[in-house]
Amino acid sequence: MQIVRRNFTLKLLAVGLALAGWIYVRLANNSLGVPFDQQLSVPITVVNLLPGYVAQFAQRDAVVTVSSRRGRRPIAADEIKAVLDLSNKRPGVYNIPVRLTAPDIPVQSLSPASVTLTIETAGTNMGSTR
């Protein structure tokens, strides 16, 4: 019984430190809610292109960095859309800003911010279209 009484304070301290370490590891990995950045590659799509026209552009994907929180599920690439709005655009060369449609998440960066494209009539194109 003397061995237990003589080292009781030291044993209590060891149990306390072990418990504090276990709590720290559990909370640090899962539920503190600390934000982290997630980088996604999102295909660039064209909307509102007038019938009979095609748009040609080289940059097919946008790289989006979003801020998320630990403990929540990661954002999927199909939840974010990178869109080029070609409303009322006739044949020619344009520099169109990339517009993101995404759930309520903070976007840290978008690359490219704009895309240079050529709009041609459907019969005159020679390259890939989108």
129 occurs within a structural domain: no
Same domain, residue pair 25 and 52: no
Same domain, residue pair 3 and 54: no
pLDDT in tens, the chain (130 residues): 566 567 778 888 889 999 998 888 777 655 455 567 888 899 999 999 999 999 999 989 999 988 876 666 777 778 889 999 999 899 999 999 999 987 777 788 999 999 999 999 987 645 544 4
> For the chain, what is the domain count?
2
Same domain, residue pair 41 and 65: yes
Q: What is the pLDDT of residue 129?
A: 46
Instruction: Please list the residues that pair with 117 across neighbouring strands.
Output: 94
Q: What is the pLDDT of residue 45?
A: 93
127 occurs within a structural domain: no
67 occurs within a structural domain: yes
Q: Which domain holds residue 23?
A: 1-30
How far apart are the C-alpha atoms of 40 and 99, rounded to whole Å?
Answer: 15
Instruction: Please list the residues that pair with 83 across neighbouring strands.
Output: 45, 99
Q: Give the neighbor-by-neighbor strand order of the sheet with 81-85.
A: 99-101, 81-85, 35-47, 61-69, 107-111
- Cα–Cα nearest to 92, from 123, 129, 52, 56: 56
Q: What is the pLDDT of residue 128?
A: 47
Same domain, residue pair 78 and 23: no
Same domain, residue pair 60 and 106: yes
Contact 88, 94 (CB under 8 A): no
6 occurs within a structural domain: yes
130 occurs within a structural domain: no
How far apart are the C-alpha atoms of 40 and 49, rounded to whole Å?
Answer: 26
* CATH number of residue 56's parent domain: 2.170.120.30
99 occurs within a structural domain: yes
Angle at 56 between CA 52 and CA 59, to 5 degrees: 145
12 occurs within a structural domain: yes
Q: What is the pLDDT of residue 126?
A: 52
114 occurs within a structural domain: yes
Read off φ and ψ for residue 56, nearest 5 degrees: -115, 130
Q: What is the pLDDT of residue 107?
A: 84
Q: What is the pLDDT of residue 37?
A: 81
Q: What is the pLDDT of residue 2?
A: 65
